[in-house]
């Protein structure tokens, strides 16, 4: 019985470690597929086209919007970010769980379009750790770090819209916690109706004296 793929949204403050968590989750479990977003921001050192992002000009991104090629998109600290539609739809239909690592405006749009999506929010235990990680990463200017922290403060107001909170203290624990959450989603009755109906049929036949 092929199981149905679940759409998972993972959001979290910049610097909360989402990227590392996602890489580890994908390495451990084949059931997950990470959607690669399109963005107008410039590649960071080491980032690859088609692996980390599809890097686009503003014009190309706006064309994707006009052609309805994105399931959702948002503006984050002066750049566009969006989720390509085709990959999400095809991968879900093949039964894999698709993870979208996106910010809160995108998460809201996904919730509207896919009410059964599971929304997870990743945080650190305190804000000091976030600031330190952003500074240590050294990929953003102090000005951009400031903007990202301001954005984090705004995003923290929307946490109640998510289903689950995951604290990234220890990578190992955090990855297994996320996997456990998604596995419990798969146990929901609505994803298991094929089995339920099969057992119902069998019981009916037994009770009719077969
Ligand atoms: P970064 O520039 O650090 O890679 O990403 C900045 C923010 O954009 C992060 O919060 C990330 O989750 C979010 N993001 C990445 N891709 C998408 C996307 O396709 N849609 C939306 N709405 N947000 C995205």
Is 115 within the bounds of a domain? Answer: yes
Cα dihedral 193→195→198→202 (10° resolution): -130
Question: Cα(3)–Cα(186) distance, rounded to whole angstroms?
Answer: 8
Q: What is the DSSP string of 33-61?
A: EEPPEEESSPPPTT--BTTTEEE--HHHH
pLDDT for the residue numbered 116 = 95
Name residue 101's beta-bridge partners: 10
Average pLDDT, whole number, for the chain? 95
How far is the C-alpha of 57 from the C-alpha of 30, rounded, in Å? Answer: 33
Query: Considering the domain boundaries, does residue 68 fall inside one?
Result: no
Ligand 1 site-directed mutation target among 37, 56, 78, 168, most atoms within 8 Å of CB: 37
Identify the pLDDT of residue 182. Answer: 98
**Is residue 169 included in any domain, yes or no?**
yes
Q: What is the pLDDT of residues 120-177, one digit of tens each?
A: 999 999 999 988 988 988 888 899 899 989 999 999 999 999 999 999 999 999 999 9
Q: Looking at the domain assignment, is residue 76 inside a domain?
A: no
Helices (H) and strands (E) in the chain, counts: 8, 9
Q: Which ligand 1 atom minimizes the distance to the CA of 74? A: 22
Residue in 152, 158, 164, 179 with CA at minimum distance from that of residue 21: 179
Could you tell me which of 36, 28, 4, 1 has the C-alpha nearest to residue 178?
28
Query: Residues 171-187: what's their mean pLDDT?
Result: 97
- What pLDDT sits at residue 41? 97
Task: Write down the pLDDT at residue 1.
Answer: 61
Q: Which of 102, 114, 139, 151 to mutate to test the pocket of ligand 1 (most atoms within 8 A of CB)?
A: 102
- Residue nearest ligand 1's atom 18 by CA: 82
Domain that includes residue 192, residue range: 7-35+96-207
Residue at 89 is within a domain: no
Global pTM reads 0.93
Q: What is the CATH number of the domain that holds 182?
A: 3.40.50.300
Is 18 a domain residue?
Answer: yes
Instruction: Answer whether residue 69 is part of any domain.
Output: no
Closest alpha carbon to 114 in 60, 35, 174, 171: 35
Residue 48 lies in a domain: no
How many structural domains does the chain have?
Answer: 1
- Proportion of the chain above pLDDT 90, given as a percent: 87
């Amino acid at each position: 019985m092929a199981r149905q793929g679940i759409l998972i949204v993972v959001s979290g403050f910049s610097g909360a470690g989402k990227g590392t968590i996602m890489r580890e989750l994908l390495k451990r479990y084949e059931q997950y597929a990470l959607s690669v977003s399109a963005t107008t921001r410039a590649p960071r050192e080491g980032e690859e086209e088609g692996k980390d992002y599809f890097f686009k000009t503003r014009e190309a991104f706006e064309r994707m919007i006009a052609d309805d090629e994105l399931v959702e998109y948002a503006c984050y600290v002066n750049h566009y970010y969006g989720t390509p539609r085709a990959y999400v739809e095809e991968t879900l239909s093949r039964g894999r769980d698709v993870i979208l690592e996106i910010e809160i405006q995108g998460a809201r749009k996904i919730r509207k379009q896919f009410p059964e999506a599971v929304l997870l929010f990743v945080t650190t235990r305190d804000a000091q750790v976030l600031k330190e990680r952003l500074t240590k990463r050294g990929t953003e200017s102090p000005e951009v770090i400031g903007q990202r922290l301001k954005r984090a403060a705004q995003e923290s107001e929307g946490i109640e819209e998510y289903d689950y909170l995951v604290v990234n203290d220890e990578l190992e624990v955090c990855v297994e916690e996320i996997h456990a959450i998604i596995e419990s989603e798969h146990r929901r009755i609505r994803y298991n109706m094929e089995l339920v109906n099969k057992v119902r049929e069998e019981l009916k036949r037994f009770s009719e004296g077969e």
